[in-house]
Structure 1
């Protein structure tokens, strides 16, 4: 692992120019080099309104012969004709979509920042994500996640280049497994308290990851241990693997320490990817919200990286 060191001039247009600009803004833009004068469609607009109910609503879908459920949170500012970002949220072992939304505050952040949140429910009497089965297996949760993203894209006006995954604990391990999927639909990943890298990650493209872990976490210890979801590696070893996978240069590494928070960051990695790791000395096994607002930091990270 590379050693981290932690206008335009204003012109008052005439009325006819203003009218022309408004017309072009509605119908599109004529390509100057196209002799046919064809009008280019607005790339941020959807063909036809994709209406969605605002607020949090419950939904179900069929996958691999099973009914899978999820919550969909749509911000009040959602425009059914303009492509919108999506964050997929994955709860921890025994959790629910409602609990991870409440713990993370991601739905409130979505209302402020105008993005959609989709939070699925894992299978089992004690809900658990299967993060070890490869995505090529239709029974895997990685395969289900692909179908879930396709479902949401078919329902709403979604920007396919700005779909992100975030998860906690067991859900964090799934998110990092998704980053190893060569056909992943996600542009970046946010993970809390669940370090992981799938053994078959070589074919996956470089992944932009924001990771958070508390040093007082006893359920998934920072140093790695046998846990209720199986053996989990140490945070340092996992970060080193992701830094190598993303081909991050040592010159792009920085370390910042502020009180009980240590931030390690790698920029300039392959294909514009980046890795950001927040180590919280006094935090246990929970979604960070006091020392650092993990949801807001994740969202800022998502916006800063290339998909």
Structure 2
């Protein structure tokens, strides 16, 4: 089986490649990645049966021959940082919308199975006391250029399924954490700050809730959908891991043996969504279950990885902190 993984040098994509190589000894993986700041070839170092190609998913001349040779396309590639989308939305439109269109046209041309990775942020947010969760039929209500561009890409996939009959599935996942996540993100930034003896930063009051899932559990869910999912259907991936940002910071501090209130409040993000929550019932029907049901265990696994892999994240650290310092965060 030959698998084309777009964005496979990024956080979730690289972990997907690791999982695939470990569990599918006959698979060959081709990674197409633009290698922006969020893509790191070191995340794929030492893996057998993996070919990394630097290229842009919005370029048909690059995409077409790779899709032609593939049995499966798993599309992770995306501009995905909310703060960056507020500063400059244009790369999000090009990559998330135009790039998805180019892939869909190639998939249509060659009749290749396609799985589209998306986010729960397309649904907007929920009130903190809302008893409901996001479902596949929740109306889209994106609140940032990032989530709006991902919502648009989801709609493109559905249109290509209905209009052209491509064999595609979609998954919308909650917030991931784990190895190989860029240190601009909340959990790895907090962890690496503490490794450096710097107090963690917390946006606003820290009451915003996310439904956390370990990246390995996300990727085993993707394989469950690819192997057992119904063509044209959307599956929500989550592990019932609702915690607010304050709780997460305090748990990380406790993991390091520090006082749980030893953090610094910083300016909140504009339009910061209140709460995400996933109803994963359709996924559970496929027989999937998470390995890291306990967030504390998953967090310990993550902290251990960052402690043991400083050579992976250290070259990025100064630039990330300098960027946040300019915004008071």
Q: Would the TM-score normalized by the shorter structure come out above 0.5?
A: no
Give TM-score, length-normalised by structure 1.
Answer: 0.34
Rg (Cα) greater in structure: 1
Which structure has greater helix proportion? 2
